[in-house]
Amino acid sequence: MSERDELAEDIRGLGITVIDGPPVDLTEPLAQHLHNLGYRKPRTITTTEEVAELPVGTVVLMANGRVWQRNEPSVSGLFQIHAWTCPDGGFVREGNVPRFPFPATVLHEGSAS
């Protein structure tokens, strides 16, 4: 089942009804609209291998409450841009295996290049 189909199933579970007039099923257009806007259900990951497969732009909430974002790894002069950063100043350099506390929730999945 695709993400879009799962979203339609979730909407269908709300039991939206029309009080006056014939029944109208809005689940498919609502699901398509939300999917087009970029809505994705958060998902849980539990291994460093799953973290390594996440694309640039992904935002992950770890079990300890810290939020991390995956960046495009690059080198600028003498400085290496960190592959994963946290707003509190934490970072993981590209090539290092992140030792994040699991389980973790993928809040936003970046676009695969």
Q: Which domain holds residue 22?
A: 3-36
Q: Say if residue 23 is in the same domain as residue 53.
A: no
**Residues forming beta bridges with residue 61, ordered by sequence position:** 67, 105
b/e for 27-46, b at 16 or more Cβ within 10 A?
A: beebbeebbeeeeeeeeebe
Taking only the tens of pLDDT, the chain with its 113 residues reads: 888 888 888 877 776 666 677 777 788 888 888 888 888 888 999 998 898 889 999 999 998 888 999 888 766 666 666 788 888 877 776 666 567 889 999 998 887 65
Q: Say if residue 102 is in the same domain as residue 51.
A: yes
In a domain, 113, yes or no: no
The answer to whether 35 and 4 have CB atoms below 8 angstroms apart is yes
Q: How many domains does the chain have?
A: 2
What's the pTM?
Answer: 0.65
